Structure 1
Amino acid sequence: MAFVAVEDELGNVRSALEDAGYRVVGMNPADLRRAQAVVVSGMDIDMLQQEDIRTDVPVINAAGLSAEEIVAAVRERLK
């Protein structure tokens, strides 16, 4: 199954993704390199509306979404 990087403060999302069969990793550079999707809390957006994460994989903003909606978004983007 795919590796998904998840911010530490999203523990409920981490659990939901693991229950759905994904391998959940942290946000350090080594983990980000092997991740096939990234889930962020939406709190890392700076004043210019630029996110700090630089990656070529799908980035899912978890703000306002339930854990189940995030799992569905990851599943859809990794088809």
Structure 2
Amino acid sequence: MAKIGVEASLTNIQQLLKEKGYDVVELKQESDAANCDCCVVSGFDSNVMGMHDSVTQASVIEARGLSAEEVCQQVENRLS
């Protein structure tokens, strides 16, 4: 099953993804995302300047404004 990195504050999403059988890794630091197939972030720390250094080639899903179910649907869509 796919390895999904989820920001620490998104416990409801972590739980739902685990229930669906995904290997969930809590993203505590940038290097945690390196081997993930997909990453879920809260979006509250969005980069206002638009500058970034990529640590992963995985899809990144911003969970702000979405329910846990909607995030899981996006994960499934991006991995298929």
TM-score with structure 1 length normalisation?
Answer: 0.87
Provide closer, same or farther for how the CA distance between residues 53 and 42 of structure 1 changes in structure 2, counting only shifts above 3 A: farther
Identity rate of aligned residues, in percent? Answer: 40
Report the counterpart of residue 62 of structure 1 in structure 2.
63
Q: Which amino acid aligns with 2:26?
A: G
Report the counterpart of residue 33 of structure 2 in structure 1.
32
Q: Which amino acid aligns with 2:4?
A: V
1:33: Cα distance to partner? 1.8
Provide closer, same or farther for how the CA distance between residues 39 and 52 of structure 1 changes in structure 2, counting only shifts above 3 A: farther
Q: Deviations over 1:14-68 (max 9, x none)?
A: 0010011101002231x31221000000012132145676321100000110000
- Structure ranking higher in strand proportion: 2
Compare 42-51 and 12-21 and name the one that shifted more. 42-51
Contact 1:44 1:52 in 2 (8 A): no
Alignment map for 1:1-79 (pairs within 5 Å)? 1-27=1-27, 28=29, 29=31, 31-50=32-51, 54-79=55-80
Provide closer, same or farther for how the CA distance between residues 8 and 65 of structure 1 changes in structure 2, counting only shifts above 3 A: same
Aligned length: 78
Provide closer, same or farther for how the CA distance between residues 66 and 53 of structure 1 changes in structure 2, counting only shifts above 3 A: farther
RMSD (CA atoms) = 1.6
User: Which 5+ residue runs of structure 2 have no aligned equivalent?
Assistant: none
